[in-house]
Structure 1
Amino acid sequence: MKTNYTGVALVLITFFAISFITNILGPLFPSLVQDFDISLAVAGFLPFSFFAAYGVMSIPSGILVDKYGEKFVMLAAFVMAATGSFLFALNPSFFMAMGSLFLVGTGMAMLQVAINPLLRVSGGQEHFAFYSVLAQLLFGGAATLSPIVYSNVVQSMATGETSGIIGFFNSNVPANMSWLSMYWIFAAVSVAMLILIALIKLPKVELKEDEAVGAIGIYKQLLKNKSVILFFIGIAAYVGTEQGVANAISIFLERYHGLNPVTVGAETVSEFWLMLTIGCLLGLVLVKLLDSRLVLKLFSGGAMIALSFALFGSAEVSVIAFPLVGFFLSVMWSVIFSLALNSVAEHHGSFAGILCTGIVGGGLASPLIGVIADLTDDLRIGMVVVYITLAYIFAIGFWAKPLVVNKTIKLFNKPTADSTAT
């Protein structure tokens, strides 16, 4: 099959845009708490608004793709993202923030469902794994870039510049809310993506049987399977861990070590995403050498150790240890997802929809952390939520019983007659 490089490029750019928009909440957290004068518990409902959209829209998005096609859903998704960003940029209030983030999250959920089958068709099934890894690298690259853009824009606005893009921000963003400039940028990115998608002719996607969204009866059948429920919780635990840590980094460094959230905080969040991206590359190698369940146990154990250093170490240790947590989180999504799909014999498309709904876990962790931190007046105690989610992920390495185990390379054992016969 001939590769449609235009389609591949569009999907990769879309992955970049999704991550650039999605992963900014962490660096903004201290500013949101201060400027809206809210507690950590209340602030935690901002990421909840965003990730709740995944819980609501993941399965309906699959139905929309089936009925109207990938291009329509992608256009609708960026309309939602642009609308949410414009509304918040024009009317910055806490409740508008919640509504805006729900709209943006809805758009991102729709995109996640639409672009994976499109990538398989555009790049060719034989190249799908390669392009999927490339997409994840771009996703991580955008997550790394987003806090850096935020830090540079806010510092540039502080100079009082009156011309160019910084001048536009200084004229249209409240002086005490320079972070709001990011939502003007998100709106511009969304509009640019709308134009790009509208101009490009996309290949027709014929969903494979295991990618198709099933009828309601199939979901009911799957939800009776204990493994389906346990892996759904596993995905929720992973996303809750990732977002719980990312959203806590900047405000933790400010509260416990007096570090500037716009500079050091944003830089540390950026490094967290960078290390998560780098870890993905090592993870690709490790799952070829070791059973993925062992990899999951090693990395979840490493994440708990790194988190302990981040929370209880000195300022110098914390700014190193938080990115290390990202490194250890890197393999978890792909390993849990693959273990889940390999644990059921059929209806993988519907099961994937259920798993993606588990992304709502990313919104549950932050409010829980905030409630505990407010009640105890100690963010460190609030972070016990992350230890619990990591412990659950660690446990998956023990109870997962996939029907198909990941194939590993035997470095030191010569193949035997028995092994070559299979």
Structure 2
Amino acid sequence: MTDQPARRTYKFAFVMITSLFFMWGFVHNLDPILIPHLRRSFSLTVLQSALVDSAVFIAYFVMALPSGLLIRKAGYKNAMLCGLALFAIGALLFIPAADTRRYVFFLGALFVIACGLTVLETAANPYVTLLGDPQRATQRLNLAQSFNGLAAMLAPIAGARVILVDGASDAQLAAMSDGARQAALAAEAASVKGPYLAIALVIVAIAVVFFFLKVPAVGAASSSAHAAPAKGAVMRALRRAPIRRAVVAQFFYVGAQVCVFSFFILYAAKAAGVSQIAAADYLGWGCGTAFVVGRFAGTCLMKYIAPARLLLGYAAACVALCAVAMFASGVASLAAVIGIAFFMSIMFPTIFSLGIEGAGADTEMGSSLIIMSIVGGAVLPLLFGAISDATHNLQYGYAAPLLCFLVIGWFARAVAREARPAVAATSTGALTHV
């Protein structure tokens, strides 16, 4: 039985780690605000603006295995401190990036932030399960993850009001001299300095608290389950069809999610003619709320419908809504995208769980491979941008997520065909806590 002082320490540590879930969710969901902001400031094409997502999600692919090595060598607490340091440094790099007005510097700053987030997510997700009663570990992780959804709602709303500043219109910019136009765009670019400086200061404060916080020094260096990944283990995991298919499906799912959220403000302005601030509100209150509600609704439905079959139905709904988003206008176009946010809410945890189900000794390597596949968030937005630029119509970019949801439907259908009733019932119970 854990004594009272230790329990208070665990609770405080849990609160601090939960703050990390909120912070990385918040900074991730500022990206849809940065894309239209930087596109205007640097006169970017849609494809060029998609490099914002590429800079972020490539970091996950690059840093996934190094993060695991760091945790094994230094322990969870030191790994989280390293992640916080990278997070803060990346946020501070927005200041020189804004001063120099070099797009590549902004991309570099985002890459450094994402490297820090990769370390944090790799360490914080398993570590939060260790802070207290093992039988309530899943509940603690579920609670901490819920703050990601809260951040997804709040970040676009708050970020739009401090980053998407009211500046000169496109017509006014065109009428200015070159020097005056550059000065006006420089002033707009500088609007990111305050928010990211504030984020850096908050992260530094959290890091200081973590440094002095006494938490269980849990490391898994002695555990064979955390042995350094070997080529043979990777190939053995990939020989399992569910893992192999889940890697593919997760690659396309993350790409679809990033396309939908990151280009929403540009899409809303084109399809519905709303202002950027109004579009950010639709993104937060509309897509963000739909995503959170969809997660809870899907969890409840899984008590009655096998997860693979529910995933198949949700993928089909998303395909149909993507088609609507390509050709609709006005409120109907916004409703279609908000509907996509609702139906794709269950996809990441469901694909993950179905992919590693019954993997036995290959579970950990399979998990690592599925996590690494989120690099799809760096690749598919480029396809969205290329289609939009080639057709001169941003709405046609929704052909990219439509393709992604077709792949997810293929994955769900394959699992549904192979699953036995007993396996489906078991996975339903597991997924109610994801």
Scaled to the shorter chain, the TM-score interval is: 0.7 to 0.9
Show the counterpart of 2:298. Answer: 283
Show the counterpart of 1:26. Answer: 32
Q: Is the 8 A contact 1:212 1:350 kept in 2?
A: no
Is residue 184 from structure 1 mapped to residue 203 from structure 2 by the alignment? Answer: no
Of 102, 116, 130, which aligns to 2:111? Answer: 102
Show the counterpart of 1:251. Answer: 266
* CA distances 1:142-175 after superposition (whole Å, capped 9, x unpaired): 11111111123347888xxxxxxxxxxxxxx952
SS state at 1:106 partner: helix
- In 2, distance between residues paired with 1:409 and 1:226? 20
SS state at 2:360 partner: coil
List aligned pairs for 1:143-292, cutoff 5 A.
143-154=152-163, 174-177=186-189, 178-205=191-218, 207=220, 212-216=226-230, 217-261=232-276, 263-270=277-284, 271-292=286-307
Is residue 11 from structure 1 mapped to residue 17 from structure 2 by the alignment? Answer: yes
Deviation at 1:284, TM superposition (A): 1.7
Is residue 303 from structure 1 mapped to residue 322 from structure 2 by the alignment? Answer: no
Show the counterpart of 1:165. Answer: none
Q: Is the 8 A contact 1:49 1:363 kept in 2?
A: yes
Is residue 360 from structure 1 mapped to residue 360 from structure 2 by the alignment? Answer: no
- In 1, distance between residues paired with 2:166 and 2:200? 19
Letter in 1 for 2:67: S
After superposing the two structures, state which structure 1 stretch, 146-155 or 329-338, moved more.
Answer: 146-155
* CA distances 1:77-126 after superposition (whole Å, capped 9, x unpaired): 11111111111222222101111111111111111110122111114321
* CA distances 1:211-242 after superposition (whole Å, capped 9, x unpaired): 63543131232234443332111111111111
* CA distances 1:357-414 after superposition (whole Å, capped 9, x unpaired): 111111111111111211121222222110111011111111124694343889xxxx
After superposing the two structures, state which structure 1 stretch, 382-391 or 5-14, moved more.
Answer: 5-14
- In 2, distance between residues paired with 1:409 and 1:68? 36
After superposing the two structures, state which structure 1 stretch, 274-283 or 52-61, moved more.
Answer: 274-283
* CA distances 1:148-205 after superposition (whole Å, capped 9, x unpaired): 11123347888xxxxxxxxxxxxxx952222453322332232222122212122233
Letter in 2 for 1:405: A
Q: 1:136 to 1:211 in 2, by over 3 A?
A: farther
Letter in 2 for 1:196: V
Is residue 58 from structure 1 mapped to residue 64 from structure 2 by the alignment? Answer: yes
Show the counterpart of 1:79. Answer: 85
Q: 1:366 to 1:189 in 2, by over 3 A?
A: farther
- In 2, distance between residues paired with 1:101 and 1:15? 18
Letter in 2 for 1:265: A
- In 2, distance between residues paired with 1:79 and 1:34? 30
After superposing the two structures, state which structure 1 stretch, 328-337 or 212-221, moved more.
Answer: 212-221
Give the gaps of 5 or more residues in structure 1. Answer: 159-172, 411-422
- In 2, distance between residues paired with 1:145 and 1:57? 27
Q: Is the 8 A contact 1:27 1:265 kept in 2?
A: no
* CA distances 1:11-55 after superposition (whole Å, capped 9, x unpaired): 211111110111211122211111111111111112101100101
* CA distances 1:268-295 after superposition (whole Å, capped 9, x unpaired): 2213122111211112212222111011
- In 1, distance between residues paired with 2:344 and 2:225? 26
Q: 1:154 to 1:214 in 2, by over 3 A?
A: closer
Letter in 2 for 1:26: P
- In 1, distance between residues paired with 2:46 and 2:141? 36
Letter in 2 for 1:221: R
Show the counterpart of 1:89. Answer: 95
* CA distances 1:242-268 after superposition (whole Å, capped 9, x unpaired): 10100111001112332111x111112
SS state at 1:33 partner: helix
- In 1, distance between residues paired with 2:70 and 2:273? 48
Give the gaps of 5 or more residues in structure 2. Answer: 168-184, 430-434
Is residue 338 from structure 1 mapped to residue 353 from structure 2 by the alignment? Answer: yes
- In 2, distance between residues paired with 1:211 and 1:267? 45
Length-normalised TM-score, structure 2: 0.85
After superposing the two structures, state which structure 1 stretch, 311-320 or 364-373, moved more.
Answer: 311-320
Q: Is the 8 A contact 2:55 2:110 kept in 1?
A: yes
Show the counterpart of 2:171. Answer: none
Q: Is the 8 A contact 1:287 1:295 kept in 2?
A: yes
Show the counterpart of 1:163. Answer: none
Is residue 49 from structure 1 mapped to residue 49 from structure 2 by the alignment? Answer: no
- In 2, distance between residues paired with 1:371 and 1:180? 30
SS state at 2:137 partner: helix
Show the counterpart of 1:369. Answer: 384
SS state at 1:244 partner: helix
